[in-house]
């Protein structure tokens, strides 16, 4: 069983403006013999302005988004770069991390931030906060820790074709731990009810769990709760933005979310179809022109063309954070900076990044971001759209119906502010609750440690595949920064045949064009075989994949 591998979080609750509570939490090794219980003391001495209703029961700091913004900035040594982030200027704090003063930070009230990895957090009226780091957050998972994690995943207990299952298709959808399965089942067994309606106890409990989950997601990505919109998946989230913009354009909506003939929409040649086709359709509906940032022969973005493609006529720039084909990581700051120069909205496809690394919307400075729960240990049917509050409220609703209105007459309707204006009808409550459980699981391990683990696996994949004659790995060469994902073209063998050969050895991998036909076409192939790793993947499974790819050439009689 998982036991807070990554340093853990303090727990507690807030009963008053002044708080001094202590709760133990488990930290360190998974070994029962080595596990230690340490005391985390959190002292908040008021008054601290801007308290919100407590929704995250695991955090006494969750009531003050400005304090969490400050703490996250202190831990990550980054500033909130979003427009207006320091406009409120309620308070400034001197921050001391590990004994070194990291400067002054404004508590701006714009986002809830995670603060995992701290043993001691103290906020006082003297404006001095001391943060003593826990165990290093960038240390890769040990084999023993990965083994303990794997015990939480029932799917890994099975054999496929006489071999232990090696699940290397997490980029398509992840496996689910018992903790997530239990959370969804518990909701149906104990709290099942519609949310935001009804005066009975179950309705209140269901609503609380639903909004608790929203707060958990907000904290995880560094957003405010009203900037988190529930969707069915990332595809719906991106379409919500695209259709909202076209609706605003048609009815003379706010200029910042409207397009007209001659405006330009910019994407990249790396995009998943879900972050390409919605913009093609938006261009067709509005008369805008679609342009793209090209890739070179290795599939990497040609950043020297950035200013040429993102011109003064660009109104929207949509791009992927991590390529689902190449595993390469986009230079978000550079692309966003250029978009800001010309006044364009930015939309980030974070499906392959949020599950695997620390993603903070304030640091990235994007306007919209979409990701899916099923790729990060949660069930299918739940996705998230992050949007800047002012932009969300400028968009007309994507779907209309019940639960998203203030007043309805026979002639017209008035809509609630975001996020409720985008959440028409009965919501996916159990899936949201399970997504929160998945985030709790990932937080307990530590996102920095997960990223380090997968970077190690990605390097192992790249190095191993590079040495196989007749096998071409798409994307950056070995040694380049990448996530734990690699796609290969085996000369003379169709990817579906490679996939069946792998399956005979108990290896689950993705085959085909991975919903990225333009990128495959640019790289001169019609399809590829992709291995994608996650928190539960072992080095031995990566080696099995490399060996099987090498053996496939002999099996199919393909010679150099």
Q: Catalytic residue positions?
A: 515
Integer Cα distance of 159 and 200 in angstroms: 46
Upper half-sphere CA count for residue 23 (Cβ side, 13 Å) = 13
Q: For residue 80, give every residue at least 6 positions away whose Cβ sits within 8 Å of its Cβ, in sequence order, or none.
A: 69, 73, 86, 106, 108, 110, 111, 362, 363
> What does DSSP assign to residue 139?
P
CB atoms within 10 A of CB 284: 11
Integer Cα distance of 455 and 327 in angstroms: 10
Indicate if the alpha-carbon torsion angle 445, 235, 370, 233 is positive or negative. negative
Nearest to 208 by CA among 222, 221, 195: 195
Q: Is 238 helix (H, G, I), strand (E, B) or coil?
A: helix
- Say if CB 68 and CB 113 are below 8 A apart: yes
> What does DSSP assign to residue 191?
I
Helices vs strands, H then E, count in the chain: 15, 23
| Residue where the block lists tokens 């700051």 | 333
Q: Facing residues of 96 across strands? A: 101, 130
Q: Facing residues of 22 across strands? A: 41
Q: For residue 33, give every residue at least 6 positions away whose Cβ sits within 8 Å of its Cβ, in sequence order, or none.
A: none
Integer Cα distance of 376 and 355 in angstroms: 5
List the alpha helices (DSSP H) in 131-223: 143-150, 178-186, 201-221
Integer Cα distance of 210 and 194 in angstroms: 10
């Amino acid at each position: 069983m998982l036991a807070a591998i990554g340093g853990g979080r303090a727990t507690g609750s807030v009963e008053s403006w002044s708080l001094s509570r202590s709760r133990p939490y488990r930290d360190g090794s998974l070994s029962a013999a080595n596990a230690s219980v340490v005391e985390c003391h959190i002292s908040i001495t008021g008054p601290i302005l801007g308290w919100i209703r407590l929704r995250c029961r695991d955090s006494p700091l969750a009531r003050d988004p400005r304090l969490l913004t400050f703490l996250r900035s202190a831990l990550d040594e980054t500033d909130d770069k979003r427009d207006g982030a320091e406009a409120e200027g309620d308070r400034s704090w001197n921050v001391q991390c590990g004994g070194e003063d990291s400067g002054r930070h404004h508590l701006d009230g714009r986002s809830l931030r995670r603060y995992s990895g701290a043993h001691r957090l103290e906020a006082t009226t003297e404006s001095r906060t001391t943060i003593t780091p826990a165990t290093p957050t960038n240390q890769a998972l040990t084999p023993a820790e990965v083994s303990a994690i794997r015990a939480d995943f029932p799917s890994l207990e099975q054999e496929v074709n006489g071999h232990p299952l090696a699940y290397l298709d997490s980029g398509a959808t992840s496996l689910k731990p018992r903790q997530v399965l239990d959370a969804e089942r518990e909701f149906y067994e104990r709290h099942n009810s519609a949310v935001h309606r009804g005066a009975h106890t179950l309705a209140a409990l269901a609503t609380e769990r639903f909004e608790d989950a929203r707060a958990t997601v907000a904290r995880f990505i560094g957003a405010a709760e009203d900037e988190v919109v529930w969707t069915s998946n990332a595809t719906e989230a991106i379409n919500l933005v695209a259709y909202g913009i076209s609706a605003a354009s048609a009815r003379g909506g706010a200029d910042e979310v409207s397009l007209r003939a001659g405006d330009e929409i910019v994407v990249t040649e790396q995009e998943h179809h879900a972050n390409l086709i919605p913009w093609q359709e938006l261009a067709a509906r509005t008369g805008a022109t679609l342009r793209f940032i090209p890739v070179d022969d290795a599939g990497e973005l040609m950043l020297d063309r950035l200013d040429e493609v993102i011109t003064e006529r660009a109104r929207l720039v949509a791009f992927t954070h991590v390529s689902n084909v190449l595993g390469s990581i986009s230079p978000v700051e550079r692309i966003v900076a250029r978009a800001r120069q010309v006044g364009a909205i930015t939309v980030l496809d974070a499906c392959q990044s949020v599950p695997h690394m620390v993603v903070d919307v304030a640091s990235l400075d994007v306007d919209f971001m979409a990701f899916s729960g099923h790729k990060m240990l949660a069930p299918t049917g739940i996705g998230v759209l992050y949007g800047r509050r002012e932009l969300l409220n400028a968009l007309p609703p994507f779907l209309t119906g019940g639960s998203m209105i203030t007043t309805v007459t026979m002639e017209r309707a008035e809509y609630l502010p975001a996020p409720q204006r985008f959440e028409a009808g009965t919501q996916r409550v159990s899936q949201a609750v399970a997504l929160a459980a998945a985030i709790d699981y990932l937080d307990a391990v530590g996102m920095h440690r997960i990223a380090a683990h997968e970077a190690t696996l990605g390097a192992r994949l790249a190095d191993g595949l590079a040495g196989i004659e007749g096998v071409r790995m798409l994307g950056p060469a070995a040694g380049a920064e990448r996530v734990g994902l690699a796609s290969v073209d085996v000369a003379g063998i169709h990817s579906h045949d490679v996939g069946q050969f792998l399956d005979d050895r108990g290896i689950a991998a993705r085959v085909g064009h991975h919903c990225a036909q333009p990128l495959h076409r640019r790289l001169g192939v019609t399809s590829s075989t992709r291995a994608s790793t996650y928190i539960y993947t072992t080095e031995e499974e990566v080696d099995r994949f490399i060996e099987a790819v090498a053996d496939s050439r002999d099996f199919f009689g393909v010679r150099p």
